[in-house]
C-alpha cells in the first residue's frame, strides 16, 4: 500500500529522514486525509482484531468452568451493525 502513487511525495520525505516501515505507516495514518481510506461505498473499512482471551463460565451446578484460548472478534469501525 505504501508504494501507491498517492504516497510518492510522502515517501521521498520519509526517505530523507530514513524512517522505517512502521514509522512511515504511523505517520501516514496521521497526516493523510481520512476520507481517502473509505471503502467504495463511502463507509469506513471494517477491521477486525482477533485476540485470545481467558474466559470463566459456570456449569449447571454453579461451579466454574475455565475456557482458555477462546477467540473473540471486536469491531473497530461501524459498530452499529
Question: What is the pLDDT, as a whole number, of residue 15?
Answer: 94
Rounded to the nearest 5°, which phi and psi values hold at 3?
Answer: -90, 5
Domain that holds residue 77: 35-81
Residues 27 and 43 in one domain: no
Residues 41 and 9 in one domain: no
Gyration radius of the chain over CA positions? 21
SS3 38: strand
List, for residues 23-58, the tens digit of each pLDDT value.
998 898 888 776 666 766 777 766 666 666 566 666
Cell digits of residue 74: 471486536
Mean predicted lDDT score pLDDT of the chain: 71
Angle at 28 between CA 23 and CA 34, to 5 degrees: 150
Question: What is the pLDDT, as a whole number, of residue 49?
Answer: 67
Question: What is the pLDDT, as a whole number, of residue 17?
Answer: 95
Residues 9 and 39 in one domain: no
Residues 22 and 42 in one domain: no
Strand ranges (E), the chain:
48-58, 64-75
Number of domains in the chain: 2
List, for residues 5-24, the tens digit of each pLDDT value.
878 888 999 999 999 999 99
Residues 41 and 28 in one domain: no
Amino acid at each position: 500500500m505504501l508504494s501507491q502513487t498517492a504516497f510518492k511525495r510522502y515517501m521521498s520525505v520519509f526517505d530523507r529522514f530514513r524512517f522505517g516501515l512502521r514509522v512511515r505507516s504511523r505517520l501516514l495514518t496521521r497526516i493523510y486525509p481520512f476520507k481517502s481510506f473509505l471503502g467504495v461505498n463511502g463507509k469506513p473499512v471494517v477491521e477486525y482484531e482477533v485476540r485470545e482471551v481467558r474466559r470463566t463460565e459456570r456449569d449447571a451446578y454453579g461451579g466454574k468452568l475455565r475456557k482458555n484460548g477462546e477467540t473473540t472478534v471486536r469491531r473497530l469501525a461501524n459498530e452499529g451493525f
